[in-house]
């Protein structure tokens, strides 16, 4: 079965760039049907969608984070990555990668497989 | 930006029915889904496309969506259903989550 695993530094200094990678195992990232997302959860708070990428390279970001976020895909490694620039303490959160589907015509979509999440703390 | 509103908490007795609401402007014209998250764990999809259950999700979980409100219903609630529940929908290709509802089984 498909599994997702996040990796990356657990501590990032303010104003630097947060970089995380999600490795997909048990299946190919290069499937038309699925989009690959990053979602974060601030401590004790709810879920916030950051953005998604399709294996073709097509992306869409949360408008509230768009200017700071880049999501990329490496199909040869079956991975996709997140870069969040100019981080502050407000970016301290658990970051999840997730597999999802989204039908732009019907508006149907959901995240059916999630990674275990990785805690990232922004502190000097 | 689009917003989804959930009650912060819902309490239910074992064996009873828990109903969790999710409100948003014309939400009934969109598809809603629901996630269960237990402490220290990743969210799990329990309902998608308003009413559908993924494989492995018990039949006691059901969903509906009409007007401005989507509802997750847990029938015959069990102690293991105690968790946070989040609704989610798409608006202009952006995924939006509700603030979450903590379900306590008393």
Contacts of A22 in chain B (CB under 8 A): none
pLDDT tens digits, A4-60? 999 999 999 999 999 999 999 999 999 999 999 999 999 999 999 999 999 999 999
**What secondary structure, in 3-state letters, does B31-70 show?**
CCEEEEECCCCCCEEEEECCCECCCCCCCCEEEEEECCEE
pLDDT given at position A102: 87
Q: How far is Cα A14 from Cα A94, in angstroms, rounded to an integer?
A: 17
Q: How close A29 gets to chain B, by Cα (Å)?
A: 20
**Own/partner pairs for A63-69, CB < 8 Å, 24+ apart?**
A63/B1, A63/B94, A64/B1
Residue in chain A closest to B30 (alpha carbons) equals A107
- Residues in A 31-60 with any Cβ partner in B closer than 8 A: 37, 39, 46-49, 52, 60
Nearest C-alpha neighbor of B9 from the set B94, B83, B97: B83
With b for 16 or more beta-carbon neighbours within 10 A and e for fewer, the B15-32 pattern comes to eeebebbbbbeebbebbb
3-state helix, strand, coil in chain B (%, to 5): 5, 50, 45
What sign results for the dihedral spanned by CA atoms B88, B91, B96, B99?
negative
Q: Does A118 touch chain B (CB under 8 A)?
A: no
**Phi/psi at A21 (nearest 5 deg)?**
-125, 145
Contacts of B44 in chain A (CB under 8 A): 114
pLDDT tens digits, B49-77? 999 999 999 999 999 999 999 999 999 99
In sequence order, the 6+-apart residues with CB closer than 8 A to the CB of A49 are A37, A38, A39, A62, B94, B95, B96, B97
pLDDT given at position A107: 83
pLDDT given at position A112: 97
Q: How far is Cα B54 from Cα B57, in angstroms, rounded to an integer?
A: 6
Q: How close A10 gets to chain B, by Cα (Å)?
A: 17
Q: How close A94 gets to chain B, by Cα (Å)?
A: 10
To test the contact with chain B by mutation, choose from A22, A36, A107, A119 the residue with the greatest count of B C-beta atoms within 10 A, namely A107
pLDDT given at position A106: 85
pLDDT given at position A37: 98
| A114 to B88: CB separation less than 8 angstroms, yes or no | no
| B42 to A60: CB separation less than 8 angstroms, yes or no | no
Q: How far is Cα B45 from Cα B42, in angstroms, rounded to an integer?
A: 10
Average confidence score pLDDT of chain B: 97
pLDDT given at position A87: 97
């Amino acid at each position: 079965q498909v599994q997702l695993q996040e990796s990356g530094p657990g501590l990032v200094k303010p104003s630097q760039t947060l970089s995380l990678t999600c490795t997909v195992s048990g299946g190919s990232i290069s499937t038309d049907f699925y989009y690959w997302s990053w979602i974060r959860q601030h401590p004790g708070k709810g879920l916030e969608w950051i953005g998604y990428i399709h294996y073709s390279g097509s992306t869409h970001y949360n408008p509230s984070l768009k200017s700071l976020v880049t999501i990329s895909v490496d199909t040869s490694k079956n991975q996709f990555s997140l870069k969040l620039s100019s981080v502050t303490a407000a970016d301290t959160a658990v970051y999840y990668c997730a597999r999802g589907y989204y039908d732009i015509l019907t508006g149907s979509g959901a995240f059916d497989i999630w990674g275990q999440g990785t805690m990232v703390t922004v502190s000097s | 930006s689009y917003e989804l509103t959930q009650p912060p908490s819902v309490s239910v007795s074992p064996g009873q029915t828990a109903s969790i609401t999710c409100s948003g402007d014309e939400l009934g014209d969109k598809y809603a889904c629901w996630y269960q998250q237990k402490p220290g764990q990743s969210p799990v999809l329990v309902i998608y496309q308003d009413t559908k259950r993924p494989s492995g999700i018990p039949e006691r979980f059901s969903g509906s969506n009409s007007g401005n409100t989507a509802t997750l219903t847990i029938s015959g609630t069990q102690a293991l259903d105690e968790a946070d529940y989040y609704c989610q929908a798409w608006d202009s290709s952006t995924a939006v989550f509700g603030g979450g509802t903590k379900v306590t089984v008393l």
